[in-house]
Structure formats: structure tokens, C-alpha cells
Chain A
């Protein structure tokens, strides 16, 4: 663990019990592998982008890190402490340092609370004795930071536009001066012109407050823009992790290659002459994933070995790791 690593996730596994309709109470539930053997580390002030399509486990990964879903095995080491070994009251002090922002800006705000109360809630939870005037000062302060006028404190969430609601969500995440913010699809519900505002805001805040970000999205172009490192997930498994420029220029996993080629580029001269790598078929069921490599059922390069042996996740150039039998 290097000196400025703040978060290290080791072999994290999350499984859900799935019961089908009509099962008897004593029937054994099926296991759904939502997150399978994920490891990575994150330095202070760095941004890790997590991309993958729906059902790849990226949201579950985020929730596992903050202990919102039960973890089957693995470690989440935050500043030297394994969070998963702690009970609820022992975790509480760490909750101050890790905050989260969500996809649906309006749904992430309690419609019955006004903006001031919403933003102040984390502060009141962790420092219940803070005098009211200090709370108000802190709220005004973060509101200014995210570009909201502080005279809007008494307003309610439904009076704001999507972009503004997302700013409120960011303000709430910032009030405790966290070290890490986990952003779960923070811009995918926003309009293009608003998306850019929020992305810029996050990048500015990151620089100003030395924040680390885990930025989860399905839009590879946004993730590449904001992240220093990118991790690609498929069906709960890590398929590739690398510096963001590196992963765009030298994608090594067939899935990453297909993903990158599928992202449309807003330029007709490039887009119309592009060589698309299409992957056929549907995502396999996570309850019954393919043997060996999870991507083999749709992979253009698949060979016999892919069905027999799960490819190791190994580093092939510095900082660039991939899980494929044919990566070199």
C-alpha cells in the first residue's frame, strides 16, 4: 500500500439470493454473482472511472464499498482499516469521509425537506451539537461552492431543475469535507448542456478539495474525460483496468474494444467510416454465468480454453491489466 493510497479493495465478492416466485420458504435460493473478485486501489485526489453496461455490477460495487449491500467476501481497506470487519457504530466515523451522489437528481432529495435541511443533514447527524448558526454558515458555504445562491435554502426540491438538484446533491456530499465521493451515474439523467456544467463542477471541486472520486457511468466518453484510471466491468467481473488514455488507445480485451468502437463520436466524417465491432447476442444471466471467461459466449476471439479456464487478471504493461487468454 503506497503512502497516499486511501482506498484499497481486495477480492470483493457480492452475491444476492434470488428466489423465484412460488418457491417454498425452505427451498434454497439461487446465488446471483453481482460482483466477482474485484480488486483495485485508489489514491488521494485521483479519479477511478468504472464503466460497463447495465447488469455489470457497477452500482453494486459502489454500494458494497459503503456497506449498503452485504458482502460475501473480500476486503475494503479505507485508510488502513478494513471497513467490512467493523460493526455499524465503528463504521460511523468513516461515513463522514466517504460520500455518494446519485443518478436521479430529484429522487435523491427528500421531497418533504427543504434544501437547507437536506444539505445540513450529514452535518447534523455526525455533529449533533453544532450550533445552529454554524450549521447555517456551513450550508451557505457549500451552496456557494456548488454554484447555488444561499437564499434558496428554504425552497423544496421540486422547485429546482435537474441540474440544480444534482448541485444540491453534491453540496450535501461536500458538507462533511469528505476524502472520497462515489458518483453513481451522476450525469446520465441530465441534458447535454447541463451534463458539462456538472462534470466541470466535479473536476473543479476535486482540485480544490483534493477529493478522490469513483465515477461510475455507462458513457465512456464522460468517464474518460474525468478519470485518471478506468476499470471496465462485464457481468460482475473486471475485464480491464488502465490509465484512461491508455485504455482508449490500446484496449486489450475484446469487450473493451467492442465497447469503445460502439461509442458514437460526434463527427460524421469519423462516424460514417468507422469500423464497428459489433458483439452479438444478449448478456448471459448472472445467476448462471458461463464457465471460464464470462465474455466467451459473445467474444469473437473465443477458443476452447476460454470455456475451460477463467483467464487470470494480470498486468501486462505497467498499470494496464486485463483478463483475457489472448491479451498479448
Chain B
């Protein structure tokens, strides 16, 4: 079908021959992404969740650490979700407002996810691209380092770090960021090896373009597709990791909270007829993760070069 695809390209070239503005691959990808309903809806929902976590506090009657003494200890009877009491999502077992706490948890979880993923993406991309492009001994050494780091049991180290240095968001970032770029760097290296032999890289080298420029101008932009896809899949992975740590009781410190911590509390009190304590955070958690996965899928299809 190469012949047909070629034709398609020619057609596009001709259809556009009147306007002088080109259609970059990014614009093409955006159009294809928009055609994917699941991905577009997911993106919309995710944006709403993010927006909600910023605007939500202005509608809150209670702050996330304030204790409603009426509801304390009798959450099952008094602390149920209601508009009159101002506890839109009900209260937790200590009588704290779940609405505010879910917002707080959303902020923290998303921040951990997005920041952790960006660290992983930046470090992983640069590391992988450099290793792949330089090749030879340097590549061997850089990749063996990755292998060694990968062989360390990740959760175990993270738990140790948190126990030894105390629980803090900073430590959580360091722990997660330290190790999550490893996969990224491997993927990027593989892609770089592929790209390196492309003729346009050769063309740049023959012209005398410096290695640094080749990596930043020719290799990295062509990697961004796969990096974007992987990053959207990495965010939920990190959120899950953080939730797991929080579920073990080692994550963020009270009175701050996160989805994992909230789900843990909710799950612990489920036998007291306070199912909202589990369901609200869980709903946010599940919906967001689904959204990330759908967006990742959509991005992958949109950026897949097979179409061209």
C-alpha cells in the first residue's frame, strides 16, 4: 500500500498548494487525536478534575483540617454527604470535611504524578538520547548503570528511604523520581538507535552540525511522540505508586492527604456504613487513571507514523 500512501501525500501537497502555511506532523497528530472520541472525552474530564481541584476550595465550607465536632465519632449518622451541613462529600471518621480533603488529595496526587513523570521524562530522554547517539563504550557503560539501578527492588528502597529519612513529599519525589526514569531512558535509547541511522541525521553530520545540536534539534523532536505517549502512561503509574505507599501509611503526612491515603481511610471504615468515605476518593482516582490511559492510547494512535 506504499503506492497509495504516497499518493495520499501527493494529494495533500496538491490540496494545500494554494496556502503557504505548512501542516506540521504535530498539527496532523492533533487532528487525529481530536477524531478519537474516547481520548477527547477523557482529556475533557481530566481537565475538569484539574479545574475542580483549583476552583473547588472556593466553594468549600470547611477546610481540609478543620474538625466538625458534631460529626466526630458519629460520621455514619451525622457525617453523610449533604448540602445543608456543608459536607458535600460527607466527613471522614474524625469529622473532617471529605470534600475539602478529596480536593487536597487530588492536588497532591496529580502533582506527584505530573512532577514525577516530568522528572522521569526529562532525565530519561536526555540520558537515553545521549547514550544511544554516542554509542560504543559510553553507551555500554550508561546502560549498565541503568541495569544496575533497575535491579534494585524499587518499592523496598522507597519504603526504606521514607522510614529512614522520615515521611515527606520531598522524599517521596526523590524516591519515585530516582527510579522511574529508567524505563524511559531505555525506550528513548532504542528509538535513538533507530533514528541515528536515518539519512537526515547523516545529512546533518556531513554538514558539520555539532553533536549537541543534532541531539536537541534532530533527535529529541522526533522522539517527542513516543515520549509523550509514555509520559501519559507514566503519570498514573506514579500516582499508583504514591497511593500504594500512602496506603501502607508511609506517604504524605497528616493532615495533608492524597488519593491513596483517603482510600485507605475509607477502606478501613467501610464496615461502619460510611461507604462515601471510600467511594468519593475512589471515584476520582479511578476516573483519572482511566482518563490518563485513554489519553495515552489516543496519543499513541495519533502520533503513530504507520498512518503516513
Direct contact of A and B (CB under 8 A): yes
A residues whose Cβ falls under 8 Å from a Cβ of B: 63, 66, 68, 91-92, 95-96, 98-100, 102-104, 107-115, 121-122, 125-126, 151-156, 158-162, 164, 169, 172, 176
Give, as a whole number of angstroms, the nearest-CB distance from B290 to chain A. 31
Q: Is the CB of B206 within 8 A of A108?
A: no
Q: Does B85 contact A (CB under 8 A)?
A: no
The verdict on A121 contacting B13 (CB below 8 Å), with A109-B200, A154-B20, A156-B22 known, is no
Q: Which 6 A-B pairs have the closest CB atoms?
A: A155-B22, A95-B208, A108-B199, A102-B199, A112-B221, A122-B207
Q: Is the CB of A159 within 8 A of B9?
A: yes
Complex Cα gap A121–B200 (Å): 12
Give, as a whole number of angstroms, the nearest-CB distance from B159 to chain A. 36
Chain A residues whose C-beta falls within 8 Å of the C-beta of B30 in the assembled complex: none
Chain A residues whose C-beta falls within 8 Å of the C-beta of B20 in the assembled complex: 151-154
Q: Is the CB of B21 within 8 A of A125?
A: no
Give, as a whole number of angstroms, the nearest-CB distance from B224 to chain A. 8
Q: Is the CB of A125 within 8 A of B209?
A: yes
Give, as a whole number of angstroms, the nearest-CB distance from A254 to chain B. 34
The verdict on A126 contacting B25 (CB below 8 Å), with A110-B222, A112-B222 known, is no
Chain A residues whose C-beta falls within 8 Å of the C-beta of B202 in the assembled complex: 63, 68, 100, 102, 108
Choice from A112, A158, A160, A169 contacting B308 with Cβ under 8 Å: A158
The verdict on A99 contacting B207 (CB below 8 Å), with A108-B200, A110-B218, A112-B222 known, is yes
Choice from B6, B24, B209, B217 contacting A114 with Cβ under 8 Å: B24
Choice from B22, B199, B205, B218 contacting A104 with Cβ under 8 Å: B199
Give, as a whole number of angstroms, the nearest-CB distance from A112 to chain B. 4
| Residues 2-25 of chain B, each 1 if its beta carbon lies under 8 Å from chain A, else 0 | 000010011011001000111111
| Residues 184-213 of chain B, each 1 if its beta carbon lies under 8 Å from chain A, else 0 | 000000000000001110111111111001
Q: Is the CB of B24 within 8 A of A169?
A: no
Give, as a whole number of angstroms, the nearest-CB distance from A66 to chain B. 5
Complex A-B: 11 CB contacts under 8 Å: A95-B206, A100-B202, A100-B206, A108-B199, A110-B222, A125-B209, A152-B20, A156-B25, A159-B23, A161-B10, A169-B203
Chain A residues whose C-beta falls within 8 Å of the C-beta of B218 in the assembled complex: 110
Chain A residues whose C-beta falls within 8 Å of the C-beta of B22 in the assembled complex: 114-115, 152, 154-156, 159
The verdict on A159 contacting B16 (CB below 8 Å), with A104-B199, A107-B199, A112-B221 known, is yes
Q: Could you tell me the dominant secondary structure of chain B's interface residues?
A: helix
The verdict on A108 contacting B203 (CB below 8 Å), with A125-B209, A161-B13, A162-B6 known, is yes
The verdict on A68 contacting B205 (CB below 8 Å), with A109-B200, A154-B20, A155-B16 known, is yes
Q: Is the CB of B13 within 8 A of A160?
A: yes
Q: Is the CB of B203 within 8 A of A158?
A: no
Q: In residues 94-143 of chain B, which contact A (Cβ within 8 Å)? A: none
Chain A residues whose C-beta falls within 8 Å of the C-beta of B24 in the assembled complex: 112, 114, 156
Chain A residues whose C-beta falls within 8 Å of the C-beta of B222 in the assembled complex: 110-112
Give, as a whole number of angstroms, the nearest-CB distance from A16 to chain B. 13
Q: For residue B195, which residue of chain A has the nearest CB? A: A110
Choice from B12, B23, B198, B206 contacting A68 with Cβ under 8 Å: B206
Give, as a whole number of angstroms, the nearest-CB distance from B79 to chain A. 55
Q: For residue B13, which residue of chain A has the nearest CB? A: A159
Complex Cα gap A98–B25 (Å): 31
Q: Is the CB of B207 within 8 A of A160?
A: no
Known contacts A102-B202, A159-B13; 18 additional CB pairs below 8 A are A68-B205, A95-B206, A99-B206, A107-B198, A107-B200, A108-B200, A110-B218, A111-B222, A125-B213, A154-B20, A155-B23, A156-B24, A158-B12, A159-B12, A159-B23, A160-B9, A160-B13, A169-B203
Chain B residues whose C-beta falls within 8 Å of the C-beta of A151 in the assembled complex: 20
Complex Cα gap A125–B209 (Å): 6
Q: In residues 65-91 of chain B, which contact A (Cβ within 8 Å)? A: none
Chain A residues whose C-beta falls within 8 Å of the C-beta of B308 in the assembled complex: 158
Q: Is the CB of A125 within 8 A of B9?
A: no
Q: Is the CB of A102 within 8 A of B203?
A: yes
Complex Cα gap A135–B134 (Å): 31
Complex Cα gap A108–B195 (Å): 11
Complex Cα gap A91–B210 (Å): 12
Complex Cα gap A214–B259 (Å): 65
Give, as a whole number of angstroms, the nearest-CB distance from B125 to chain A. 15
Complex Cα gap A249–B55 (Å): 85
Q: Is the CB of A92 within 8 A of B208?
A: yes
Chain A residues whose C-beta falls within 8 Å of the C-beta of B21 in the assembled complex: 154
Chain A residues whose C-beta falls within 8 Å of the C-beta of B213 in the assembled complex: 125
The verdict on A66 contacting B16 (CB below 8 Å), with A107-B200, A111-B25, A159-B22 known, is no
